Chain A
Amino acid sequence: MPQHPKRISRRAFVKTAAATPALFTIVPRHVLGGQGHTAPSDKFGGALIGCGGQGRSTFQRLQDGGRGGRRGGDASANRLNIELLAECDVKFLDRADNKRIYTDFRRVLERKDIDLVAIATPPHWHALISIAAAEAGKDVLCEKPMTRFIAEGRAVVDAFKRYNRVFQIGTFGRFSASQDRNNLLTHQIMRSGLLKECPAVVVRSGGFKVKEWSGRPLLQPQPVPSNLDWNMYCGPSPLKPYVPPRTGGTHRGYWDYEGGGLSDMGQHHFDGVQWTYAKDATSPVEIEAHAPPADPEVCGMWGWVELKYADGLTFVFDSGEWGEPYNRKQNRSVSLNDLAEADREKVNSLPKPEPLISFVDAVKTRQQAGGDAEAAHRCATLLHLANVAIRMGRKLKYDPVKEQIVGDAEANRLVNQPMRAPWHL
């Protein structure tokens, strides 16, 4: 293993501080921090895994907590002091030194001086790297979509619970949604449990970039660029002949790596909606898609997808890019008028929900972040269920507790997809 420069790590400091006798209570300010000084206990070693496209801004969010950061007051309190110690990307074959520049994330996670990891690879790597980071004791900010299929999400949730690490998804819609008065009221009504039948329908029309992120079949295989570790790029996905659009953003159009514009944009669009309707701990039970038969390799056209929860709440993804426009249901919110008089008072007397915790605060206080693994997984599940319905061409029933499609063995093969060894959940 390569040797890294000596650095007083946050972990080392915390351990030493904890072991120091109480007698030594006068601590220099450069140790404690304060204006113009940074305490080792507040200094973090960081790594960026996946350095193309979104990577730099993802690392920036690692430092400032994204839009989840608090506003006003002492600006330094809203930031993490992170030293970027490692950059890892499968296209760094020509410059990797395994000291600061890497192609293999495993070598990064071995480093004891790294506390926080930003993950901005294509999505087929998100779950495995997130889980491996948790197992190595690191906290994670991971780009959306959280996963490529449903079972990956459950494995991420379990890993972060088991290892007691912080996970934050790299989309922050819920932070602004939770500050809106109308959304707050809807959230209170929904989480009160007093609305037994929910009449609400949320139709999201457009913004799914269906054509933009459709894949192109029939391309001529090309020689792999000399700087790209193609085997590592494919990772848990099938090792296919190299064609340039399989990398560099257009990877979104291939089922092997993502799920088209629906996967790319869906978590943005529905992160806040899911919080508003208090569905962070469950998933829809019926999913119906209007789409042509899917291609085996590339993501393509779809018209709309309806996802209905057990209480009747319905989310609709309406692409507006294929087939007849969606016209089965209209947008409809919930209000206090949907409740009996006595229940309205109960809702009004409920305590307001605690403010969502930013990634910065979660890391500092060891609490769960606002966009934690479970919430992110349930939102990613919406996208995956929609894509399974599109790909299977039939209406699905889903068990949100077992996280399985009911009575459909073939559809469940897309819920939990085999991986190429040595990668597995």
Chain B
Amino acid sequence: MPDEKIKSLVEQMPKPDSRGILSEVKLEPTLKAISDLHAGGTATVRALADMLVEPGKGNDHQARYALHALALHVCQLAGKNGDDKPREQFATALAETLADDRPKTVKEFIVRELQVCGGPEAAPALGRFILDDVLHEPAAQAMVAIGGERAANEFRQALPNARGRQRTTIVQNLGILRDQQSAKAIAAAAVDDDGEIRAAAAWALANIGDPASIDACLKAAERAEGYERIQAGKSRLLLAERLRDAGMKAEARRVLGHLRETSSDESEAYLRNLAERALATLG
């Protein structure tokens, strides 16, 4: 599709009214323009990406709106026809634009659109940003939304080289994905000097529910103070629930016993009661 045609279709996207809100959007012409843009094929995706600019450096609102509407459109087609190909083609073309030289704030928008419509095919392109100082967080969120083994693998590969905020993000998301293979590496993070990483690791281990992580989880709890101590209570309860659900009652009992014994402060009576009640249900 010629660039001029793409531009004219983009100009049919809604514009802010005098108050700055999108009150004057017309349904049918907007839908028709989106459908026409989609008919332009994957080259349209790159043309739209090229229209994006950094926030505050120009008016790219209609291009952003069009890209987002297309991301939803291809998902709708997949839902209607059961044919995932248009979505996959769109997401692949969009992911490819991340390899171009673009400002990070523009790439962030593209990453967020992949969170809307991307599948496993987008995971490698997103994985390239997992250690980036700006894009690690949006990339991680998109990958967690996509889920699955390919996303988990990207996190797993990146963990040994991750430091600071990136490490917290990766550890947390491996926990959300309940990635058993990472349990040992996360256990090492549970004794990190950074309290935020420690807390993320303790929770991730608990959510994964690997019995080999019990010692690391309990040790982290003993060291915790203040808010981290409150979170350590949560992690041990979660770990006990995961172990119980997996039929490992003795292990769950050990974790709950630890919670009961170490919740020794007067203000932690509610935790002792909780642990006792949970122990009673385990028999």
Contact = CB atoms under 8 A, between A and B. Distances in A.
Given A216-B16, A418-B144, A424-B172, A300 B267 contact: no
Nearest to B270: A137
Interface residues of B, number: 67
Nearest to A412: B145
Contact of B16 (A164, A217, A321): A217
The 6 closest A-B pairs by CB, nearest first: A216-B20, A418-B141, A296-B68, A214-B21, A112-B267, A106-B227
Given A216-B21, A292-B30, A418 B230 contact: no
15 contacts: A12-B266, A163-B270, A163-B274, A217-B20, A218-B61, A221-B56, A238-B137, A253-B21, A292-B25, A293-B34, A300-B21, A392-B72, A392-B76, A394-B79, A421-B137
B203 A424 contact: yes
Contacts of A238: 112, 137-138, 141
Contacts of A393: 72, 76
Contact of B22 (A136, A301, A422, A424): A301
A135 B68 contact: no
Most buried by B among A217, A253, A294: A217
Query: What size tier do the contact residues of chain A reach?
Result: 35 or more
A293 B69 contact: yes
Interface in B137-183: 137-138, 140-142, 144-145, 165, 168-169, 172-173, 175-176
Interface of B: 14, 16, 19-23, 25-27, 30-31, 34, 55-56, 59, 61, 64-65, 68-69, 72, 75-76, 79, 105, 109, 112-113, 115-117, 137-138, 140-142, 144-145, 165, 168-169, 172-173, 175-176, 196, 199-200, 203, 225-227, 230-231, 233-234, 237, 265-271, 273-274
Nearest to A136: B230
Nearest to B72: A393
Contact of A162 (B56, B59, B137, B274): B274
Given A135-B234, A424-B172, A392 B23 contact: no
Nearest to B273: A164
Nearest to B69: A293
Given A393-B72, A421-B140, A421-B173, A295 B22 contact: yes
A346 interface: no
A135 B233 contact: yes
B170 to A, nearest CB: 9
Interface string A189-214: 00000000000000000000001001
Given A110-B226, A216-B16, A221-B56, A422 B199 contact: yes
A139 B268 CA distance: 15
B118 to A, nearest CB: 9
A109 interface: yes
Contacts, number: 157
Given A219-B20, A421-B168, A422-B168, 11 more contacts: A11-B269, A214-B21, A216-B16, A221-B55, A292-B14, A293-B30, A293-B34, A296-B116, A300-B14, A417-B145, A422-B200
A413 B20 contact: no
A309 B29 CA distance: 33
A136 B267 CA distance: 9
Contacts of B200: 421-422
Nearest to A133: B230
B233 A217 contact: no
A301 B267 contact: no
A239 to B, nearest CB: 7
A231 B15 CA distance: 30
A349 B109 CA distance: 60
A216 B117 CA distance: 24
Contacts of A106: 226-227
B27 A408 contact: no
A56 interface: no
Nearest to A108: B227
A300 B172 contact: no
Interface string A63-88: 00000000000000000000000000
A211 to B, nearest CB: 6
A132 interface: yes
Interface in A308-333: 321-323
A198 B183 CA distance: 50
A342 interface: no
B140 A214 contact: no
Contacts of B271: 137
Contacts of A135: 230-231, 233-234
Contacts of A239: 137
B226 A218 contact: no
B111 to A, nearest CB: 10
Contact of B75 (A136, A322, A410): A410
Nearest to A292: B25
Nearest to B241: A162
Nearest to B172: A421
